[in-house]
Structure formats: structure tokens, C-alpha cells
Amino acid sequence: MTITNNPPAIEPRSSTLTFPTFIETLRSNPACAPWIGPYGGVPPFDRIVAEHLEPALRAGMEEQLTEMSRITNNTEPPTFENTIAALERSGKALERAESIFSILSSSVSNDHLRALEEQVVPLLSAHGDRIIQDERLFARIEAVYRDRNTAGLSPEQIRLVSLTYKSFERSGATLSATDKAELSSINHKLATLYTRFSQNVLKAESEALFIGTEAELDGVPDTLKEAMARAATDLGKPESWAIVNTRSIIEPLLKHAHNRPLRQRAFELFSARADGGLHDNNPLISEIAQLRAQHAKLLGYRTHAHLQLEETMAKTPQQALQLLKDVWNIALQRAREELNEVRELAAREGFYEPIEPWDFRYYQEKVRAERYNLNEAEITPYLQVDKLRDGMFYAASRLLQLSFQRVQSGSVPTYHPDVEVWEVVGKLGEHVGLLYFDPYWHDGKQSGAWMREYRSQQRLDSTVTPLVSNDSNFMKGTAGQPALLTWTDATTLFHEFGHALHGLCSNVTYPSLSGAQVSGDFVELPSQLFERWLETTDILTGFALHYKTSEPMPLELVERIRQAQNFNSGFTTVEYLICAIADMELHLAGDVPIDPKTFEREILERLEVPREIVMRHRMPHFLHVFGGAEYSAGYYSYFWADTLAADAWEAFLEAGSPWDQTTASLLHTHILSAGNVREPQDSYRGFRGRDAGIMALMRQRGFLKHAGEG
């Protein structure tokens, strides 16, 4: 089956495609051949069939190994050009194939793709090890690194040399042959486990609750019921309502449903993802943690956490933990106050049973309505996906002089009919890049929201413009009705667009330094900063339009939203911090065997977390940490980056306007366009003129009173 603009899924065809050589595959296989067409070439989703994927990945690996041989067999002395730049130019077919494969696996997954993923991910891991462990290649890199400051290189080139050398060194290039073999074995096992973990979560999230009578949904806003009805139809059960196992459905249901047993079922469906049963991830967690500890020790690090944080802004696990613990007691005190308010209101309404986790949000929403005359059901009708998308485009235009033009349907292939493609144009009318916008949940799509770079900006040999995507799991409205968002979902929309701007605004020479390829505790700065523009008057009154009347959000409602902006800040901060602390402490434990259920219970007890509050991401479905290595011992980075984002937002406020052009220009120059050409601390200082402190975050979360400073 071909992946067209309207595919049900990618499936194997009955025939088998064969390619005589990997060279022929590189030319004829659309999953790895150079992208052609407009905008510097685009992924040919309309020409890819399932059988293309494995040959494309294998051919890409073969091509890159051939390119590595050319580098190592070069008889000329190692130089930046014949070694480092040559590395930058290598592996392009594999990059294209991996990009296509990753997009399809996360967005239109099915049994065939999952089986293929289990097969090829370990092969890709072994391929990477083969390159890293090539002694002749590393000897050339080391020679260029040794002479980097005397070879007449530019600062960007010196930065690239240093990062390349450190990457190889931190990946085992200097180990003995025996240790390299052991490291490869560990990497192979981890790659396999990451795939299994992610697939278990995806399978668990495919489960849904179907409600047969509307009476069971008493209290649920009509807009949410309409989305649930649409989801049930999509899942083949019309005349019912589907509680899809995604946050965009579960959280608003927990806030509004009067039916307590239904809230409990929905909460447990979401909270227990991959925790037992056919898709149990608990055994994998312990194995992943121990393998990571062994991996770190082989490389000379005390723990996996020390390895992961060495090249971040935090530098050490202790410094990251200190930031989390500096706020913990303050946030916990606030959360306990919020819980007492919930208990008091519940008692006034005649509910005297212990508050359970599936009750907390329900009564929180009642407290907010009582205190601020504000209910999320009043806000949601104004939060249309398409209108807010236009609002975030407006913000980018006003801040960065970017414009967004919808690409004519069919002129750029997509993997699903929901995907929109937008051309991004600069202030002089120049083409900047493309944004693929895929906002909606559909069967086979990974949960959550993310930004992906299909192709990174660079100008090594020619100008290459970026292709980026924003992907979410918002629920569609019923036929003829717009999709509506909760405030949390709207914040997510703006968050991911901040990541997209980081990729689109990149202006560097070398692809490895491009866009969002920065340390994990810096990469979340643009995204968390851009969330703040959702709250501005211009966005809320200009683009938050009622889906029935098209009337803008009234200023008095905007004011009530602002007055309530720190409502439940204790709960949300504690909910996050538990996860960040647990992630770090698990990876500081070394290779001690860990039972995930016991570990989770004990850390909640030791932190004295009220039983009504659970981890935002429980261990069995903590994809950030166990679905791959990128955010492992790194979930703290959202909080670290939010200290930067809060301080950066105050730079705009100090300038007198969220649209201040001088501040926006500094943001573009030092953060959004700079990629990884400088240390992140230096980039932030270039923007702000100083380092960030924690006080801006404390002010914006309303914690100064609890810190004794207000």
C-alpha cells in the first residue's frame, strides 16, 4: 500500500521489492534517495511503500561506511576539511531514511512498522558503534582536535571540532577492544529495550473506554462530548462516546465529569498504562537502569546521571537536584494548602470521603470557579485550534518578521490527511523553510506532543532550508465543528511552536550545530518562553474567538484568566518535580537492582507527597526517560529551562512590551538563530546581559510569599 495523502496506514505489499546493489537503492528508493521537488526537496510520502524502508536504511548505512572509508584511507594529513567537514557531509541517505522511518513509526504506526522497528533499531545502534569505534577515524579527529586552536579555524569550526571529539570520546572511542565490544553489546540491548518500552506504551494507549449513554457523561461539556463522539466513530463504534487514552481527553474529563466511578475508570486507564498486563514495562525499567549504569562505568563515569549531565548547563546531577530541591518545599507547602481548599469545598458539598487522585482535579475546578468565577468550560469554546494556530503565526510575524503561507493541498506530499504544510517566509520575501502541522490524535500515533526536524538548516556546501513539524494529539470536533482545546492544550500548541521557531530561525554553517541541537536543559528555553505569548491580550482578544459566535474573548474573561494564572501552581509543580527527582535519583543509584513499583512508592513517601497527587508520568509509561536516552537523567531540564524562560520573559516586560523589537532581535540573534555554535551559558548572557536566577520563576509561579519574600 502506498503512503498517500489519505492513507489508512502503511502496510506491506504482497510482492517483494528487490534492489541489486545499495548504489541502485540509493538512486531508486524514495525512502533514501535525495528529496526532489519544491522548497529544496521534500519527503516523498506519496511514493513510499512499506518494503522501501528496510532496504533504504541498510543502503544508507552502507553508503555511510563507504564514506567513512574514504576519510580513513585519505593519505593526506588530517585537517578540518578532509575529516570534520567530511563527517558533516556523510550519511545523508541514512539521515533521510531514518527521518522517514521515525516519522511513520511515531505517527502512523501499526503491526508491520512495529515489527520492522524491532528489527532495524538494533542494527542502527550497531552501525553507530562501528563508526564511533573506528580507531583510524578517531585518530584523525583527535589530530584535528589537538591542533584546533592553531589551524586558523573560525570559532564555529573550533566549536564543531570540540563537540565532535567529545562526542566520540563520550561514546567509547578511547576504550580497549574488549570494552568496546562490551559497550556495543550494552548499546544493542538498550536499543532493543527502548523500542519495546515505547511500543508497549503505544499499545497500552490504544485501549479506550466506550460509553453507551450520554447520562453517564453528566457534567462533561458539550464540546468534549462531541470530541469523544467523533473519536468513537473513528474507532468504529458510532452511537457511543470514546474516552481515548490520551491526556487531551482524560484531564478535562477528570475536571468536569460528575460520575465519580467514571472518573476513577478514566484515571486508572491513563495512570496504569503499561503497568502490568500484556504490555508491562516494569521488568524493562530495571534492566534499562542497570544497563545504563554499566554503560556509564565502562566510560569512566560514576553513574549514568554524571555521564548525561557533563555536557549540559547543569554540569552535575547535584546542581540539577539542588535547583529542584530549592523549590520543592515551597511547592509542597502550596500544594498542601490547595488540597485543604479542595477538602473544605468537598465537605461543604456533602462529600466526606477521602479525596482520591480522580477527585482532585474535579474539586480543584470547583474551587477555581468559586474563587475566580472561572471554569475551563467557559474558556474552551474560545480556543479553536485553527484560530490559535493563526495566533501563534501572528506572534512569530510580529516578533520575528516571519510570515506563514499555506501550501496548496497536494503540492507537498504528507503521510496523513490531517497534516497541513505551511511555507515560512522571511521579512525580505525569502523562503525560510516549511512547517508540517499535524495537530490531531488518530489511531497509531504516539502520545504527547513534539517538534521534529525532518531536515536541519545548514549552508556547508549550499543553502539548505529547514523542514520542521509540530505534532500533537488534540481531539477533533464533530463533523462541521472546529476542534477546541483546553487551556493546557493551547499552552502545548504554543510550546511546540517555540521549538519549531528554534529550528526555522537557525542560521549556522554546519548541520551538527543547527537549530535545536543544543543541550537538553537549554533546548526547552524557546518552547517554554513562547508559551507566554498565549497569555497576551493581543492573542486572546484577537485569536481566541468563540466557535459559535466568532466573538473575541471578552477582556473581563482575559482578566479573570490572568488573576487565576497561579491557581494550582503548587499541584502542577509538585506533580512535575516528583518525576524529575525520581528520574535523577534512579540514575544516581548505579547498578543496584530496582523494582519500579517499590522505587516509586518509596520516593513518594520520602518526599511526603500527599496521596492525592501522583506522578505526572509514572515509571511504566515515562517515555521521556525510558523510551530513549535523550531525556534520561534529564527530565529536570524542563524546570531548568523554565528558570531561563521566566527570566527571558521579564526582559520583555522590563522593556515595556511583549512585542519589544529590540528584545526580540536579541532573542533571535543569541538564542533562536545561534544553534549550538556557543556554550548555552554564553548564548543566554548574549541575550540577557547576565545569567538567569531563580527569582523570576518564583515570581511567575506565585511562590514568593511561601519563600518569605512577599
Task: Render 316-362 in DSSP notation, one character per residue.
Answer: SHHHHHHHHHHHHHHHHHHHHHHHHHHHHHHHHTT--SPPPHHHHHH
pLDDT tens readout for residues 423-433: 999 999 999 99
Please say if the pLDDT value at position 477 is more than 90. no
**What's the CA gap between 580 and 617, in Å, rounded?**
10
Indicate the class that CATH gives domain 22-174.
Answer: mainly alpha
Q: Which residues pair with 271 in a beta bridge?
A: none
Please say if the pLDDT value at position 11 is more than 80. no
**Catalytic amino acids?**
496
Q: Which three cell numbers stand for residue 575?
A: 506533580
Residue 591 has a pLDDT of 87
Q: Which long-range contacts (CB under 8 A, 24 or more apart) does 33-42 make?
A: 33/93, 33/96, 34/92, 34/96, 35/96, 35/455, 37/412, 38/411, 38/412, 39/412, 39/423, 39/431, 39/433, 39/434, 39/465, 39/467, 40/464, 40/465, 42/412, 42/413, 42/434, 42/467
Which letter, b or e, does each residue of 4-42 get, where b requires 16 or more Cβ atoms within 10 Å of its Cβ?
Answer: beebebbebeeeeeebeebeebbeebbbbbebeeebbbb
Average pLDDT, the chain: 94
Closest C-alpha among 349, 658, 673 to residue 533: 658
Helices (H), 206-281: 222-234, 247-256, 260-271
Mean pLDDT value of segment 356-385 = 96
**What's the CA gap between 512 and 190, in Å, rounded?**
24
Burial class (CB in 10 A: 0-12, 13-18, 19+), 356: middle
Torsions phi, psi for 156 (to 5 deg):
-65, -40
**CA-to-CA dists, residue 159 to 149, 624, 681, angstroms:** 10, 28, 14
**What's the CA gap between 205 and 224, in Å, rounded?**
19
Considering the chain, what percentage of its residues have pLDDT values greater than 90? Answer: 92
pLDDT confidence tier of residue 443, bands split at 50, 70 and 90: confident
**What's the CA gap between 413 and 41, in Å, rounded?**
11
pLDDT tens readout for residues 371-410: 999 999 999 999 999 999 999 999 999 999 999 999 998 8
Please say if the pLDDT value at position 710 is more than 60. no
Q: Which residues pair with 453 in a beta bridge?
A: 468
pLDDT tens readout for residues 146-188: 999 999 999 999 999 999 999 999 999 999 999 999 999 999 9
Q: Which three cell numbers stand for residue 63?
A: 553508503
Residue 5 has a pLDDT of 34
| Greater model confidence, 590 or 635 | 635
For residue 661, the Cα-to-chain-centroid distance in whole angstroms is 28
Which region among 2-11, 114-123, 190-199, 678-687 has the lowest average model confidence (pLDDT)?
A: 2-11
Torsions phi, psi for 67 (to 5 deg):
-65, -35
Residue 13 has a pLDDT of 32
pLDDT tens readout for residues 499-546: 999 999 999 999 999 999 999 999 999 999 999 999 999 999 999 999
Numbers of helices and strands, H then E, in the chain: 28, 7
Residue 21 has a pLDDT of 63
**CA-to-CA dists, residue 160 to 79, 163, 333, 620, 675, angstroms:** 13, 5, 45, 37, 11
Residue 16 has a pLDDT of 37
Please say if the pLDDT value at position 1 is more than 50. no
Q: What sign for the dihedral angle of Cα 681, 684, 689, 694? A: negative
**CA-to-CA dists, residue 38 to 45, 412, 415, 425, angstroms:** 14, 8, 17, 14
Please say if the pLDDT value at position 190 is more than 70. yes
**What's the CA gap between 366 and 347, in Å, rounded?**
12
Q: Which three cell numbers stand for residue 35?
A: 528529496
Please say if the pLDDT value at position 252 is more than 90. yes
**What's the CA gap between 438 and 189, in Å, rounded?**
32
Could you tell me where the beta strands, DSSP code E, fall in 467-599?
467-474
For residue 131, the Cα-to-chain-centroid distance in whole angstroms is 27
Q: Which three cell numbers stand for residue 552?
A: 473575541
Residue 709 has a pLDDT of 43
Mean pLDDT value of segment 306-333 = 96
**What's the CA gap between 62 and 126, in Å, rounded?**
13
Cβ 618 vs Cβ 600: under 8 Å: yes
Helices (H), 133-216: 135-146, 155-170, 177-205
pLDDT tens readout for residues 551-588: 999 999 999 999 999 999 999 999 999 999 999 999 99
Side-chain-side CA neighbours of residue 581 (13 Å): 23
| Strands 450-455 and 467-474, bridge-based pairing | antiparallel
Q: Please name the helix (run of DSSP H) or strand (run of DSSP E) that holds residue 293, with its range, or none.
A: helix 282-298
Which region among 12-21, 242-251, 378-387 has the lowest average model confidence (pLDDT)?
A: 12-21
Total number of residues shown for the chain? 710
**What's the CA gap between 577 and 599, in Å, rounded?**
16
Sorted by where each begins, the domain ranges of the chain are 22-174, 208-278
Mean pLDDT value of segment 321-326 = 95
